[in-house]
Amino acid sequence: PLDTLLATWGLSLVLQQVFRQVFGPKEVSVPTVEWLQGAWKISETLELPLNRIFIIGLTFVIAGAVFLFLYRSRWGLRIRAVTQNRAMAGAAGINTTRVDAVTFALGCGLAGIAGSSFTMLASTGPMSGQQYLVDTFIVVVFGGVESLLGTFLSAFAIGQTQISLEYLTTGSMAKAITLMVVIVLLFFRPNGLFAAKVRR
């Protein structure tokens, strides 16, 4: 899975440059629908933007749906089997090529939802996702490539760490410190903190 992740990362860099040449580097803003405009006023000093509340809720819904799909459906069982031991899954009669196609389609769908949600927060363009590539790679590797729960917990932990460090230092310094901490932890846990234990 890790080599596939790296290949996807490289392909995304190529596609970014292609889209930049075709559509230009200019970023555009997508207007937010009326019912997501404004904020929920909790107190005199605290307000939560409605679009961010919607994105948080959508994240939990999508995460729950993915979890149910992977752990409560036959296709989820096939995907986990291929991920853990591709050769054995194929020997058991699972069409690994078809599983690859379904997994790719699922990933593209989730990426589309994430990209659409991103337009509610900032302007978008060919290079908009570049600033999140490193963070995404760190989250998956740190949480464990084969662990869905580990990825969620890793994303939350790294996000909270960076936000806390940005309050004390600067954005660049917070990202650098977070990266160094992750590298040190991966030195002791190369498969990630929540790597799945698999019999082979």
> Quick check: is 58 in a domain?
yes
What are 78-117's pLDDT values in tens digits?
998 998 888 999 999 999 999 999 998 998 899 889 888 8
Contact 120, 36 (CB under 8 A): yes
Least confident of 1-5, 10-14, 53-57: 1-5
Of the three residues 64, 99, 127, the one that is the final residue of a domain is 127
Number of domains making up the chain? 2
Residue 192 Cα distances to 2, 62, 66, 103, 154, angstroms = 11, 23, 21, 22, 9
Residue 140 shares a structural domain with residue 157: yes
Which of 111, 127, 143 delimits the end of a domain? 127
